[in-house]
């Protein structure tokens, strides 16, 4: 799926990282625990998370994750956007719950990493 | 050999990851394999978060030569009472604040160990910890 298709399916809003909009994403991982994200070997996945702080972006940077969808309508700070832009990370935001977003995307083409 | 030094402030989560971010840029410039870079920066980031989460102050020295990156992290803090227990997945003494940041699940040290080639950990109670991590940069 492309970011564009993810936006169409979930109604999420693109906060930054427009240049990635046509990139193809195959896998997704849902977690609020960054320690869990850091134990995954896969990269180039969509991270679906309700944790919205600088460490969310830092974790993605270290784990080579370029796409983050913040769920449950959590606020995204300007510092987060700045850091995401610096690292060419696309940030998306949705008011839906993690389960809802995961279900919508699972029903499409996105695969779990395990 | 290339040596860089950094200070890490305990409790300051806004800067946690700055060292790992700098090292990532350097290793990219040196054309190190992306999978190796990921192992290095994940271990370093976890170790940096540990200093921010548990210590008052820390100092990081990064040495890069043709073959290895050596990361020496020294902190002033409470130390670790039982190192074997701290290396056990799921054991944590992290505060609620640390957990709010998405950490503190007792996975840091085991994940660091998984990602490096060599790990030595020395601890003195109420003085601090010295953690030395080494990763081979060539395949």
CATH code: domain of residue A105:
3.40.1390.20
pLDDT confidence of residue A12: 98
Mean pLDDT value across residues B54-75: 97
Compute the distance between CA of residue B113 and CA of residue B82 in angstroms, rounded to an integer.
16
pLDDT confidence of residue A86: 97
A89 touches chain B (CB under 8 A): no
Instruction: Tell me the residue range of the domain where A56 lies.
Output: 3-112
CB contact under 8 A, B45 and A59: yes
A40 touches chain B (CB under 8 A): no
| Number of structural domains chain A divides into | 1
> Which of A7-11, A95-99, B97-101 is least confident?
B97-101
pLDDT confidence of residue B104: 92
CB contact under 8 A, B101 and A55: yes
In the predicted model, what is the mean pLDDT of chain B?
A: 96
Compute the distance between CA of residue B108 and CA of residue B104 in angstroms, rounded to an integer.
8
Residues of chain A contacting B52 with CB distance shorter than 8 Å: none
Instruction: Tell me the residue range of the domain where B40 lies.
Output: 2-136
ipTM rounded to 2 decimals? 0.93
The answer on pLDDT for A72 being more than 90 is yes
Interface list for A 6-25 with B (CB within 8 A)? none
The one-character DSSP state at A19 is G
pLDDT confidence of residue B134: 98
pLDDT confidence of residue A3: 96
pLDDT confidence of residue A42: 84
CATH code: domain of residue B118:
3.30.565.10
| Number of structural domains chain B divides into | 1
Mean pLDDT value across residues B97-108: 92
Neighbours of B82 (CB within 10 A): 10
């Amino acid at each position: 799926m492309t970011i564009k298709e993810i936006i169409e399916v979930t109604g999420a809003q693109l906060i930054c990282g427009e240049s990635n909009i046509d990139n193809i994403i195959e896998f997704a991982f849902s977690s609020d625990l960054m320690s869990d994200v850091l134990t995954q070997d896969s990269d180039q996945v969509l991270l679906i998370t309700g944790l919205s702080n600088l460490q969310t972006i830092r974790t993605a940077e270290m784990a080579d994750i370029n796409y983050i969808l913040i769920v449950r309508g959590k606020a995204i700070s300007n510092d987060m956007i700045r850091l995401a832009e610096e690292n060419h990370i696309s940030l998306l935001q949705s008011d839906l719950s993690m389960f809802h977003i995961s279900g919508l995307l699972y029903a499409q083409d996105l695969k779990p990493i395990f | 050999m290339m040596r860089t030094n950094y200070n890490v402030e305990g409790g300051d989560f806004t800067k946690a990851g700055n060292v790992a971010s700098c090292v990532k840029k350097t290793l990219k410039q040196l054309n190190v394999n992306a999978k190796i870079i990921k192992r290095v920066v994940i271990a370093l980031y976890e170790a940096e978060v540990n200093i921010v989460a548990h210590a008052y102050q820390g100092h990081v020295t990064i040495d890069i030569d043709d073959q290895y990156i050596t990361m020496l992290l020294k902190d002033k803090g409470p130390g670790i009472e039982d190192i074997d227990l701290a290396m056990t997945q799921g054991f944590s003494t992290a505060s609620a604040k640390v957990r709010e940041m998405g950490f503190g699940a007792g996975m840091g040290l085991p994940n660091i160990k998984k990602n490096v080639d060599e790990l030595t950990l020395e601890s003195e109670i109420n003085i601090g910890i010295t953690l030395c991590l080494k990763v081979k940069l060539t395949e």
